[in-house]
């Protein structure tokens, strides 16, 4: 049971966690924090948080669990702001999509990565952002990856695990570097491709006609290009090395496909498409 949860960054991720924990009866009080008072008041009006402060130091006072759910580029600033104001029994965790950069931000802010800090990443979300888009079922049966370090407190890890499980999530552990490599392939690259495709088509001379006749496949593939641009800019900067490797590998595969098209190699095209269909069908069944 969490007595007081502080969420710094009350958007889709933080707001959905608050809703889920309230619904589960797992949290007595939720304090929100952010830069926009109007946005935070909306969170109060929606019943997502009980009260708020725009001062991180004030917001974390008395909290036994603190979730930082801000863009990756803001992590170090937030950590520095709360560093000297966390209660002695407080547990700190985050929801960042690139764990290497978050761990380094904590190291820079605290001098060393605290044992009460449990890096985490919920593998859930939608193309929408903001607290109004949050809902209690976002994490139900979805995975949350925790990437503790060797010195991370077992008690802190257990408390963060219990919190996410109370929200309905399936919690797994992973090495931070492995996490960043896996997410570069399964999440970061798809978002980069979706953003790039839409931007490319938007710059065509007849872009109005292109989007007018876009079918369901285009909408399905590019849905994630409606995600928060600031968040994805920060992810690309924070996990750039792993993303670059995936872009290079994908570019090679795309060139291979292009050669098959140029050479009218129907057999090669069929092999690529059939292999992709089998892999996708296995994924959806699992």
DSSP 96: -
Q: Which CATH number fits domain 178-285: 3.30.70.100, 1.10.540.10, 3.90.226.10, 1.10.3660.10?
A: 1.10.3660.10
Q: How far apart are CA 239 and CA 224, in angstroms?
A: 18
Q: Give the pLDDT score at 259.
A: 97
CATH code of 2-174, in short, is: 3.40.50.720
172 phi/psi in degrees, rounded to 5: -130, 160
Q: Give the pLDDT score at 211.
A: 77
Sites in the chain below the pLDDT cut of 70 = 205-208, 286
Q: Give the pLDDT score at 274.
A: 97
Strand partners, 146: 120, 173
Contact 131, 39 (CB under 8 A): yes
Count the residues in the chain.
286
Contact 116, 93 (CB under 8 A): no
Q: Give the pLDDT score at 127.
A: 77
The model's pLDDT over 99-137, given as tens digits with 9 standing for 90+, comes to: 999 999 999 999 999 999 999 999 987 777 899 999 999
DSSP per residue over 218-285, as a string? HHHHHGGGGS-HHHHHHHHHHTHHHHHHHHHHHHHHHHHHHHHHHTT-HHHHHHHHHHHHHHHHHHHH
The model's pLDDT over 108-117, given as tens digits with 9 standing for 90+, comes to: 999 999 999 9
The model's pLDDT over 200-225, given as tens digits with 9 standing for 90+, comes to: 888 886 656 777 777 778 888 898 99
Q: What stretch(es) of the chain map to CATH 1.10.3660.10?
A: 178-285
Q: Give the pLDDT score at 201.
A: 87
Q: What stretch(es) of the chain map to CATH 3.40.50.720?
A: 2-174
Please report how the helices 240-262 and 189-202 are oriented relative to each other, as an axis angle in degrees rounded to 10.
60
Contact 194, 222 (CB under 8 A): yes
Instruction: With CA atoms as reference, report the closest residue to 152 among 178, 111, 114, 121.
Output: 114
DSSP 113: -
């Amino acid at each position: 049971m969490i007595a007081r949860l502080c969420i710094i960054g009350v958007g889709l991720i933080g707001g959905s966690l608050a809703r889920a924990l309230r619904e589960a009866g797992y949290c007595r009080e939720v304090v929100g924090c952010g830069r926009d008072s109007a946005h935070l008041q909306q969170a109060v009006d929606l019943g997502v948080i009980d009260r708020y402060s725009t001062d991180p130091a004030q917001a974390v006072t008395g909290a036994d669990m603190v979730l930082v759910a801000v863009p990756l580029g803001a992590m170090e600033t937030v950590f520095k702001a709360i560093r000297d104001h966390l209660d002695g029994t407080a547990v700190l965790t985050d929801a960042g999509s690139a764990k290497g950069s978050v761990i380094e931000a904590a190291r820079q802010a605290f001098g060393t990565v605290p044992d009460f800090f449990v890096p985490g990443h919920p593998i859930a979300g939608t193309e929408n952002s903001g607290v109004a888009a949050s809902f209690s079922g976002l994490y139900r049966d979805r995975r949350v990856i925790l990437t503790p370090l060797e010195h991370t407190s077992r008690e802190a890890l257990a408390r963060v695990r219990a919190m996410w499980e109370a929200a309905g999530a399936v919690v797994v552990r992973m090495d931070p570097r492995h996490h960043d490599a896996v997410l570069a392939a399964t999440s970061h690259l798809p978002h980069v491709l979706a953003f790039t495709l839409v931007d490319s088509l938007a710059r065509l001379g007849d872009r109005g006609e292109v989007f007018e006749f876009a079918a369901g496949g285009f909408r399905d593939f590019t849905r994630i290009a409606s995600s928060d641009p600031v968040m994805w800019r920060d992810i690309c900067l924070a996990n750039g090395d792993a993303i670059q490797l995936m872009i290079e590998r994908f570019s090679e595969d795309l060139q291979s496909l292009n050669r098959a098209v140029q050479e009218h190699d129907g057999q090669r095209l069929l092999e690529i498409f059939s292999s992709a269909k089998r892999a996708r069908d296995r994924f959806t069944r699992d």
